[in-house]
Structure 1
Amino acid sequence: MRKILIVGAGQAGLQLALGLQTQGYEVTLMSNRTADEIRAGRVMSTQMMFATALQHERDLKLNFWESQAPRAEGLGVSVAAPGSHDPGPSQRAIDWVGKLDGYAQSVDQRVKMAGWMETFAQRGGQLVIHGAAVSDLDYFARTYDLVLVAAGKGELVSMFGRDAARSPYAEPQRALAVAYVHGLGPRPEHPDFDAVRCNLVPGVGELFVMPTLTTSGRADILFWEGIPGGPLDAFKGIKDPSEHLSLTLELMERFTPWEYARATKVELTDENGTLSGRYAPTVRNPIGRLPSGGLVLGVGDVVVANDPITGQGSNSAGKCAAAYLAAIVEHGDKPFDEEWMQSAFDRYWNTAQHVTKWTNAMLAPPPEHVLNLIGAAGELPPIANRFANGFDDPSDFENFFFDPQKAEQYVSSVAAG
């Protein structure tokens, strides 16, 4: 029986560990927190997952909360009229919602990761609650057939060098601020179904609003992404959760009053229901070299960390776990050497490259043809639907989003048809 060590118990690490368990591998999972500590801790993400990533969980029978979590059946875009927030409040220049072919869902990672970790242990997996340093991995690389690093923060990430050719940004492009709330009203444009709502405020940033299942049941997430140095870059140093929520709502009232109108009675889900921070989107070399010469393979956001502006983090983690699981199983009893590690990552990069390209494009000011495309979606539902479903399959953006000529031809064909 082949022995595999996974360091890190997030979406990618746990999904891969549980998948390998089902295939008969002897799996050890290292986490720096217990399931109870995760469940009682701070929120970690917004984790809206679309159809393909959700199917990977279903394939492994890990969709424990699917019947409880709210179903986002659409994805909507609102764009504030440039400058209308000064002095404010903003006015909408564009507003539409596209229907998803398959619903999306968000399950608070405190719920999911704690539940999956307990399942892993109940199924006979070896769970080690301990942080890991590079020196630890030096020993483990000689003990296990394969060591995978799925812990996206801390010392271990430094083993994986930045891929400058695939990482155009050296600095964070957004300041992030999340609040989980109860009491949010429905969007009046579609009161009969839930949707992920993307609110773009040109030159300022973005507000994302989405339903979720949290530790206390159904909730909604208010997620600001602010351009650094701008008016939304205001959460640094705020430790008090109620102050964080007050600022979130104050900014909504000025920049997205149409969202604020349904948020006047919200309250935080819990004292740990806020999060803020920032990081530079980075693609890293997938293979880490240990001092002794041993090799480890990076997983998920260790190797591809995109800005959350396109909501792809958990989706990418799940797709990486699925790609690596298939690569490991197909490899049989052959050694997990450097060539195999690179090929496993390349298999994942086939999908991840489209996410990275699209996410980096969305961080920049939108070119005229993209604004025209988003505007046309308000008049032509097929465009809105296709844009919405691109969140599940970002490779489709190559066909109509990036190239001005392709975008114009697409809009013209839909308008004519």
Structure 2
Amino acid sequence: MRKILVVGAGQSGLQLALGLQSYGYEITLLSNRTPDELRSGRVMSTQCMFHTALQHERDLQLGFWESQAPRVEGLGVSVAAPDPASPSGYSRAVDWVGRLDGIAQSVDQRIKMAGWMETFAQRGGQLVIHGAAVSDLDYFSRLYDLVLVSAGKGELVAMFGRDTARSPYATPQRALSVAYVHGLGPRPEHPDFDAVRCNLVPGVGEFFVMPTLTVTGRADILFWEGVPGGPVDAFQGVNDPADHLSLTLELMERYTPWEYARAMKVELTDANATLAGRYTPTVRHPVGRLPGGGLVLGVADVVVANDPLTGQGSNSASKCAASYLESIVAHGDREFDEAWMRATFDRHWESARHTTRWTNAMLAPPPEHVLRMFDAAGRLQPVADRFANGFDDPSDFEDFFYDAEKTDAYLAAVGGEGVTAG
């Protein structure tokens, strides 16, 4: 029986560990926290998983919370514009919702990762609570056939060099702030179904609302992405959760008053329901070399870390775990050498490159043809639906999003009339 060590108990590490376990591999999983510590700790992320990623979980019989989590059936976009007639100074220049082909869902990682860790142990996996260092991996690499690193922070990540050709940004592009809340009202435009709402405030940042399941039940995630140095880059040093929520609402009232109108009675879900930070989007080389000469393979956001602007973190992690699982099983009893590691990552990159290109494009100010497409989506439901489903399959953006001629040709085909710049 082949022995594999998985370092890190997030979406990718746990999904991969549980998947390998189902194929009969002897798996050891290193986590720096126990399940109980995860459940009682601070929120770790925003997340909304779309159909493809959710199906990877279903294939492994890991969709434990599907009946409890809100069913997200749409994805809406609003674009704010200065409006002197509005009390806040902003109103919606664009507002629409696209319908998803398959439902999306969000489960607080405190619930999911704790539950999956317990399942892994119950199924006979060796769960070790230990914050691994490079020196640990140097020792472990001699005991295991393969070491997979899925812990995306700290000294372990430093083993994987930055891929400058695939990493256009050298600094964080957004300041991030998160609050999980109860008491948010429905969007009046679609009170009969849940949707993720993306609110774009050009020059300021983006504000997202995501229905979720958290430790205290059904909730919503309020998520600001602020342009560094701008008015939404305001959460550094805000340590009190109540102050964090108050500032979140203040910024909503100023820049997205239509969202603030349904948030006037919200309260935090629990004492650990807020989070703030920033990080640089980076693609890294997939193979890490240990001091003793051993090799380790990076997984998910260890090697492809995108800004959460497009909500792809958990989706990409799930897709990476599924791709790596297939590559490992197909490799049989052969050595997991450097050539195999690079080929395994390259196979995953064929999908991940589309996510990275799209996310990096969305971090830049939207070009005129994208604004035309957003405007057209308010009149043409197929355009709204196609953009919404791109969150599940970002490769589709290659055909209508990046190039003005392709965008205009698509809009003309859907709308039955010519589309021109203006």
Q: TM-score, normalised by structure 1?
A: 0.99
How has the CA–CA distance of structure 1 residues 103 and 136 changed in structure 2, closer, same or farther, with 3 Å as cutoff? same
Q: Cα gap change, 1:85/1:403 in structure 2, threshold over 3 Å: closer, same or farther?
A: farther
Q: What residue number does 2:44 align with?
A: 44
Q: C-alpha displacement at 1:385, in angstroms?
A: 0.1
The superposition leaves residues 150-176 of structure 1 with CA deviations (integer Å, 9 ceiling, x where unpaired) of 000111000000000000000000000
Q: 1:36 to 1:84 in 2, by over 3 A?
A: farther
- 5+ long unaligned stretches in structure 2: 418-422
SS of equivalent to 2:54? helix
- Structure 2 residue aligned with 1:311: 311
Question: What is the DSSP-based 3-state SS (H/G/I as helix, E as strand, rest coil) of the residue aligned with 1:206?
Answer: strand
Aligned to 2:420: none
- Give the C-alpha shift of residue 59 in structure 1: 0.2
Contact residue 160 and residue 287 of structure 2 kept, 8 A: yes
Alpha-carbon distance in structure 1 between the residues aligned to 2:314 and 2:347: 18
* Matched residue, 1:209: 209
Q: 1:378 is matched by which residue type in structure 2?
A: G
Q: Matches of residues 13-412 of structure 1 in structure 2 within 5 Å?
A: 13-82=13-82, 88-412=88-412
- Number of residue pairs the alignment of both structures matches: 417
Contact 2:82 2:89 in 1 (8 A): no
Equivalent residues of 2:43, 2:110 under 8 A apart: yes
Q: Tell me, what secondary structure is at the counterpart of 1:181?
A: strand
Query: Tell me, what secondary structure is at the counterpart of 2:68?
Result: coil
Structure 2 counterpart SS, 1:49: coil
TM (norm. structure 2) is 0.98
The aligned amino acid for 1:30 is L
Listed one character per residue, the Cα deviations across residues 391-414 of structure 1 (whole Å, up to 9, x for unaligned) are 000000000000110000000000
Aligned residue type for 1:280: T
Counterpart residue type for residue 168 of structure 1? P
Question: What RMSD in Å do the two structures reach over aligned CA positions?
Answer: 1.1
What displacement does 1:88 show? 3.0
CA contact (8 A) 1:48 1:107 kept: yes
SS in 1 for 2:142: helix
Alpha-carbon separation, structure 2, partners of 1:380 and 1:340: 46
Query: Secondary structure of the residue that 2:5 maps to in structure 1?
Result: strand
Change over 3 Å in CA distance of 1:124–1:398 after alignment to 2: same
Q: Deviations over 1:353-396 (max 9, x none)?
A: 00000000000001100100111101100000000000000000
- Report the CA distance between 1:84 and its aligned residue: 6.0
| CA gap 1:363/1:82 in 2 versus in 1, 3 angstroms | farther
Q: Is the 8 A contact 2:83 2:89 kept in 1?
A: no
Whether the 8 Å contact between 1:137 and 1:290 is mirrored in structure 2 is yes
| 1:42 maps to amino acid | R
Contact 1:42 1:272 in 2 (8 A): yes
Q: Is the 8 A contact 2:197 2:209 kept in 1?
A: yes
* Residues 185, 262 of structure 1: 8 Å contact kept: yes
Deviation at 1:28?
Answer: 0.1
* Letter paired with 2:243: E
Counterpart residue identity of residue 358, structure 1: W
What is the SS of the residue equivalent to 1:66?
Answer: coil
Q: Is the 8 A contact 1:76 1:388 kept in 2?
A: yes
Amino acid at match of 2:17: A
Q: Deviations over 1:118-150 (max 9, x none)?
A: 000000000000011111111111100000000
- Distance in 1, matches of 2:87 and 2:376, equals 28
Which residue identity lines up with residue 15 of structure 2 in the other structure? Q
C-alpha separation in 2, matches of 1:17 and 1:271: 31
Q: For residues 108 and 344 of structure 1, what CA distance do their matches in structure 2 show?
A: 29
1:230-264 deviation digits (Å, cap 9, x = unpaired) = 00000001110000000000000000000000000
Q: Are the equivalent residues in 2 in contact too, given 1:85–1:254 (CA < 8 A)?
A: no
Q: Distance in 2 between matches of 1:375 and 1:194?
A: 22
**Shift in Å at residue 304 of structure 1?**
0.3
- Counterpart residue type for residue 40 of structure 2: A
Q: Is the 8 A contact 1:174 1:225 kept in 2?
A: yes
Question: How far apart, CA to CA, are the structure 2 residues paired with 1:156 and 1:87?
Answer: 50
**Alpha-carbon distance in 2 for matches of 1:89, 1:402:** 31
Residues 191, 118 of structure 1: CA spacing in aligned structure 2 closer, same or farther, 3 A cutoff? same
Q: Is the 8 A contact 1:89 1:256 kept in 2?
A: no
Q: For 1:88 and 1:58, how far apart are their aligned partners in 2? A: 45
Q: CA deviation at 1:86?
A: 9.9
Confirm or deny: 8 A CA contact 2:97 2:384 kept in the other structure.
Answer: yes
Task: Please give the alpha-carbon distance, in whole angstroms, between the structure 1 residues aligned to 2:20 and 2:381.
Answer: 42
Percent identical among aligned pairs is 78
Query: What code does the residue aligned with 1:178 have?
Result: V
One-letter amino acid of the counterpart of residue 181, structure 1: V
8 Å contact kept, 1:106–1:213: yes
Q: CA deviation at 1:89?
A: 3.3
Q: Displacement of 1:87 after TM fit?
A: 8.3
Which residue identity does 1:287 align to in structure 2? Answer: V
Q: Higher mean Cα deviation, 75-84 or 318-327?
A: 75-84
Structure 1 position 292, deviation (Å): 1.0
Q: Are the aligned partners of 1:82 and 1:202 in contact in 2 as well (CA < 8 Å)? A: no
SS for the counterpart of 1:143 is coil
Report the Cα distance in structure 2 between the residues aligned to 1:46 and 1:170, rounded to whole angstroms.
Answer: 23
